[in-house]
Each structure stands twice: as C-alpha cells, then as structure tokens.
Amino acid sequence: MPRPHNINMIGSILYYALYPLSRYMTSRRLHAGASKKVLPPSMDNDKALCDGGAVTTRTLSQIDKLDQWLSQGSGTKGETEERMKEPSPEQEYNTLQLMAVLHETTKKEADSKITSYYPPIDSTVGFEVTWRVWEKVDESATAAEPLPFTNASMDFTVMSYNILADDLLQANQELYTHCPLEVLDWSYRCSLLLEEIQEWEPDILCLQEVQENHYHQQLYPALSQMGYTCVYKRRTGTKRDGCATCYRSSCFSEVSVATLEFFRPETELLDRHNVGIIVLLRPVVMNGSVVKAKGPPLCVANTHLLFNPRRGDVKLAQLAIMLAEINSVIKSCNAKGEHCNLILCGDFNSIPSMPLYQLITTGELYFQGLPAWMISGQKNLSHRAYGHRLCVPLWPSSLGITDRCQHTTASKEESKSESQRSGKGQYSHDFMRQLRFCPTACIRPLDLQLIPGVTNITPDASSVNQPDKSFSHTISHQLDLESVYQHVLPGFGNPEVTTLHSEGGSTVDYIFYSRRRTATWDPSAGAFAIRGLKLIGSLSLLSEDVLWSMKGLPNDIFPSDHLSLLARFQLDLNAA
C-alpha cells in the first residue's frame, strides 16, 4: 500500500502533466475560433475562456508563475522517471513553494471571479470551481442603428432552474443509476442549490419541480433571507411539486400575479396536471426609501409543460393557455398606454427547432397532419405505424382560446373593432352555420313529410359544439419572442445540453424574451421610446460529453438533473 506522501506526489504529477495539455488545447481553440466568423470568446482577467467549460484558465499572473516553476523542473525522460520514484526533500520544498506562489497571487485577486478547470490545490486557496463561464453578447454582430439619445438603464439577471423534486427522483430512480447515492440526497442537493443561487444572485428566479414541503420548510425561508419575494403554485392532482417565481423586492415591485392550472376537467385534451405562474413586475431604482426611477412593466411567465413525448397536442394546448394569459396581461398594460416587456421561462419538454419551439420563436405553426410526437421531438417515434396526428380543431372552442392564442373575448373585441373600421359586416363560415338555430330555421314546415328520426327533430344549438371563431390549420401569437441561448456551443458546434440522466441529454429548458427593437418616436411622450429588452450576456451551458466527464447529473457540483439558465438583460428607465 503506497505511503500518504507518495499519493500526494502522484496527484501533483498528474496535475502538472495535464496543465501543458490544457494550454495547448486552449491555444488550438483560440486559433480555430479566429479563423471562423463566430462570436468572440468571453474574457476573464484579459484571458480568453473557451466554450463549454472544457478548458478555462487561471489568471495571467498565475499562469506565468506556474510556467516559470514548471520550467525549473524540466529534464530528460530518465531524470523525470528518477524524480517520480521517491520524493526528495528538495521536491517537497518545491511543491510547497508552488502552493505558496499560487496562494500569494490568489489573495491579491480574491475580489474577482476566477474560474478553473482544476480543483483547488489547497482548501485555503480561494478559487471558485466552476465549469461554466459568463458569455457576453457580441454587440458588433447585431449592431443596431445608434440611438439619438441616452436614457438611464437598469441591468438585471434572470435564472430559470428545474431543481428536480425529490419525489420525482425517488419515483424514477432508474434514471440516476450512474449517480453516487450521496449526491442524490435531498439535504445535500438543497445546500448546493442554495449555494448556487447565492453565488449568482439572480434578480428574478423561476423554479420548476419545487416540492411543496421543501418549498415551505427550506427554500422559501432561505430565499426570503436573501431578499426574495416568492409566488408558489403546486401542481393539481396528486403530485406534490410545482413552480415558484421569486424576485428581489429591492429591484422590482409587484403589480399583479396570476396562477394557471392547465387541467380542465371539461376538456378531454387537457387532462394533465401542469401549472404556470405569471407575475407582472415594475422595475424600480430606490434611493433609500425614495423611488429614484422606474421602468416599464415586466411580465415574467414561468411554466413546466407536460413531459410525455407522445402528447404534443396536449403541450400545444397548455402553451396556448399560457400565451393567451400573457397576451391578456400585456394588453391590459397597453390599454394604460404602457409597453410591457416579456420574459418566458421554464421547462418546455421540447427540443430546439421542433414545432413547439418554432411556434414560440416564429409566432406561427402549421400543425395539420403533424404526428403528435414530432411536436416536441424528445423521442423519435416515427417507427410507430399508427401514431396520432394533429387535425383541426386542435382544441375545442369551449376552452375559450382561439387559434391566435388569445382569449375568445379578446378576439371578439378585435374582430368587432376591425369590422367598425372597415364598415363591413363579418359574415364568416361560423356565422352562417349559426343560422341553423335561428327561430325561423327551427319551425318545421307544415307540408314537410314526417319521417321519424329525420324530419321530426328540432335543431338544438346546445347539443352542437359550435366554435366562436373558425379554427384554422395554423396557430399563432404576436408576442415576438427570442431565445437567450443559441443551443450550439461556439467554436465546435456541439449541441448545448440543459438536462441529462441515464437515458441521455438534451435541451428542454429555455429563457425567451421580447428583444429590443429600433427606437421609435412617441408623440404622446415627446421622446424616443425603446421597446424590448437588451440581452447583455448569459451563463454558458455544457455539452453532453463534458457532463458525462463529470459523472453526469446530478453530481457534487450541479445538484439537479437540469442545469440552471442565467441571463443578464438591460431595460430603459424613466425618472420617477
């Protein structure tokens, strides 16, 4: 059995042997990135950081001193093997010298966030161990016209996080056979989760799979101490988890809250117990107890859609309910003469570029004839000969939501105003069909031959499900949303992953936002108006390969089978 100092020596040798390789890989990636027209790498202490967390470096001063120290110990292969046999007093002194060098440089730079591929050499060395880096948006790639004015602005961060409810973990243990038992323990995961939230300090926090008893007993008390105000909505049915939306009361004031239940017993399609939360906030900048400035309303929507890969029709209906409610909130702001920015977060259980994602980001989806499994694309079920296909109407009119993802009353008001503007009546197909039930049509002509079961029946409007509006083959919305993440890691093009378990990894979690557009002149305000949010940066995601190199998810760094999503935005403020 090797002696303890031999074990330490082996660890040091492995560390120093891997370091030159990491520098070589960093150089290769930076040269490869320079030859392509891609976003520039993020910078940390004037040192480029590579994609996916595969290689990040220490500060420049640490690198220079580490190189200098390693060069002193270089030699031939024989000399190296001789040094590896038994640590000499000189080698032990050099090891301590290296630790002292690193500790010295770290103390000088303790105020900055330093990321590292390697774990700390000693527990006293203040390195922040993380595999993810902060990526700034390349403004030159999306440069807009220069604004003719400069207004006060406010930066804020948003985190979306599926934290893996313990009940669901216990019910699906086959998905976590790769994990050591200790990293699956809720107490251990909860402490890591709170540490992660405290580290990044998001101003808005959208959580999914929040178990009710854990929320009330552990999460809410801790988040309250951090300065958050929280809204929680448990799933309907027997499941004990739900969604929670939290915000810093020092940055936002609450205008309204709406909680949504997607289970509708009167609608056969909507028989699943998923929920959502919509919070309308007002950004504020405080000077003591006085409001110094405030911003336009910010609508924050948080949801967790159905998982079942075969039921894309249910997911679309749940999403339509969410979008319709968001539309109502935004219209209420518009009616007061205010523009409302929007952030939509959550676990949508759909991968990028599939129809559900397309509906959110493009605002339109032609669904007629699509296989239900294809809507989310989580699993390829094309081998099934008799898969369910979508057809018109996608959901019944009794749901009260149109194919434009608006509440029926709102749609009727829009149609009425449009009719008044055009000066013409709207004689739609549905309008003509309703004539079957007018009093004249319900009177049986006297000379009509009586045929039992055919001509002796009076039309009954209540027995026929008549839509309030014609449901087309296309569903749409007008919210103009864009994803924070591009779903491909820069440099190599590897897919980003937001969730991973024993069956594989994929992207199903998103932060969508209303993107900033070119400023327009507002005659009523007598000033230029900026609408939308400016994306400043985001916390990088990882590839599936990198996550498996960390023993998958959850692990002793990331406490859930999902990664947190984090983005920084900027919005315009008006003086109060």
pLDDT of residue 54: 39
User: Within a domain: residue 137?
Assistant: no
Domain boundary among 130, 164, 189: 130
Output the furthest CA–CA distance in the chain (Å, rounded).
Answer: 119
Percentage of the chain beyond pLDDT 70 is 64
pLDDT in tens, 447-494: 777 777 666 666 666 655 554 446 999 999 999 999 999 999 988 889
| Token pair for 239 | 């499941």
| Residue-wise pLDDT tens digits, 339-383 | 999 999 999 999 999 999 999 999 999 999 999 999 999 998 887
Residue given tokens 């039921």 in the structure block:
311
What pLDDT sits at residue 300? Answer: 99
The answer to whether residues 457 and 338 belong to one domain is no
Burial of residue 500 (number of CB atoms within 10 Å: 0-12, 13-18, 19+): buried
111-125, 323-337, 469-483: range with highest mean pLDDT: 323-337
User: φ and ψ at 459, to 5 degrees?
Assistant: -55, 135
42 belongs to a structural domain: yes
Please indicate, yes or no, whether residues 121 and 167 belong to a single structural domain of this protein. Answer: no
Q: Output the CA angle 498-502-507, nearest 5 degrees.
A: 20
- pLDDT tens digits for range 395-416: 999 999 999 999 998 655 555 5
Helix, coil or strand: residue 507: coil
| Among candidate residues 143, 141, 117, the one with its CA nearest the CA of residue 63 | 117
- Tens digit of pLDDT for each residue in 510-530? 999 999 876 666 666 566 667
Residue of higher predicted confidence among 290 and 239: 239
At residue 221, does pLDDT exceed 90? yes
Q: Other CB atoms closer than 10 Å to residue 277's CB: what's the count?
A: 24
**pTM of this prediction?**
0.71
The CATH number of the domain where 499 resides is what? 3.60.10.10
Range of the domain at 108: 4-130
User: At which of 447, 470, 493 does a domain end?
Assistant: 470
Same domain, 370 and 300: yes
pLDDT at 524: 61
**Judgement on whether residues 299 and 442 belong to the same structural domain of the protein:** no
* CB-CB contact of 498 with 378 (8 Å): no
Residues 412 and 454 in one domain: yes
Q: Is 140 within a domain?
A: no
Listed residues 470, 493, 527: the one ending a domain: 470
> Is the same domain home to 273 and 354?
yes
pLDDT at 51 over 50: no
> Please, which pLDDT band fits residue 445 given cuts at 50, 70 and 90?
confident
Strands annotated E in 98-214 = 115-116, 128-129, 134-136, 153-162, 204-211
Residue 312 lies in a domain: yes
Residue 111 resides in a domain:
yes
Domain annotation covers residue 521: yes
How many structural domains comprise the chain?
A: 3
Q: 146 lies in a domain?
A: no
Amino acid at 232: Y
Answer yes or no: do 483 and 436 share one domain. no
Are 37 and 95 in a shared domain? Answer: yes
- pLDDT score for 521: 62
Unique residue bearing structure tokens 């390693």: 70
- Are 439 and 390 in the same domain? no
Q: Is residue 147 part of a domain?
A: no
Contact 96, 88 (CB under 8 A): no
Considering only residues 473 and 67, tell me which one the structure prediction assigns the higher pLDDT.
473
Same domain, 287 and 215: yes
